[in-house]
Amino acid sequence: MTPRLTAALAALLTSAAVTATLAGVTAEVRSGFVSEDNIGRAQRPADRESDAAFALAGSLGGSYPIGGRLTLSVRATFEGRAHDAFTGLDRRFAGASVSLRRKAGLGATSPWIQFAAAAEQQEFQDRSRDGVQYEGRAAFGWSAGLRWNFRTEGSWTRREAETPVFDATGATLSLHGDVALPGRSVLFGSIRSRRGDVASSGTPDAAIAGIAEVSADDPVFGPGIRVWRLDARSHMLLLGWSLPLGRHGSIQIEHERLVAMAEAEIDYRANLLRATYLYRW
């Protein structure tokens, strides 16, 4: 872990201890497992690799009213992941975000609009993947009665990596929804569509090399494996279920399906399964 990331995590933990009792400050910790059936985002079936990982993430921040309907929120975030097979993908992230949200009226079901910006330092066991990611997004949310909630969102991301093949710029449009079920559980889902750079690893392939913006060796997946940066359209479908446990905890089960399509019928597919315990206070 670099000194910069160590200092960021130490500051986050110190802030949690000092400010957790202040009004407006909230914190949450997530831990669980994630499984992927195409972790290298390979195009050819023979190159697809599966892996599982333990994940730990959290955030600390506050929300502060500005006037009658505006709320300013500031959060610090961290994320770590330890992989079973491909340990070069083990990661340590630390970041911060700021957002401004305005409600159209009074009451919990009033529509709202939000603008946000975030930055995150991202470090991997494979140092060629290290980088900094910047994000800007705008969202609009509304409720349909007391049980249904919806949110539509547009975002732009820019990632600057140690190795150019892992640089990435993209724009995403998404629709999110959730519904309260009997027994206090919640069913939720989202549809996202993204246009921008993706990284795909596999054995050398002339068709992929012909459309790749840049490529490099990828030692994480073994000798002879290359990684290409491609311009692609990606579509993600997520479905999940959440069940409260006590006043502060909950468990979440999610399945996500990812399809990315580049030129010359170059595409890849992946499935992700997550099981997470969330504690918020």
Q: For the ranges 13-17, 150-154, 178-182, 275-279, which has the lowest average pLDDT?
A: 13-17
Q: Per-residue pLDDT averaged across 69-74, rounded? A: 92
| Interior angle at CA 88, CA 218 and CA 43, nearest 5 | 45
What would the pLDDT profile of 10-53 be if each residue is shown by its tens digit?
Answer: 454 444 444 444 557 899 999 999 999 999 999 999 999 999 99
Q: Say what the pLDDT of residue 3 is.
A: 53
Q: Say what the pLDDT of residue 105 is.
A: 77
Q: Say what the pLDDT of residue 23 is.
A: 53
Asked whether the beta carbons of 132 and 123 are under 8 A apart, the reply is no
Dihedral class, residue 32 (left if φ above 0, else alpha if ψ from -120 to 50, else beta): left
Whose tokens are 């309907």? That residue is 69
Q: For the ranges 2-6, 29-33, 137-141, 258-262, which has the lowest average pLDDT?
A: 2-6
**Interstrand relation of 51-66 and 186-202 (parallel, antiparallel or unpaired):** unpaired
Whose tokens are 């401004």? That residue is 100
Q: Say what the pLDDT of residue 19 is.
A: 46
pLDDT mean across residues, the chain: 91
Architecture of domain 3-17+27-280: Beta Barrel (2.40)
Q: What are the start-end ranges of the H helices in 100-213?
A: 206-211
Burial of 204 (C-beta count, 10 Å sphere; 0-12/13-18/19+): exposed
> Band of the pLDDT at 2, cuts 50, 70, 90?
low
pLDDT greater at residue 24 or residue 268:
268
Q: Per-residue pLDDT averaged across 90-112, rounded? A: 90
pTM of the model: 0.87
**Which of 130, 137, 168, 132 has the alpha carbon at shortest distance from 152?**
137
Q: Say what the pLDDT of residue 21 is.
A: 42
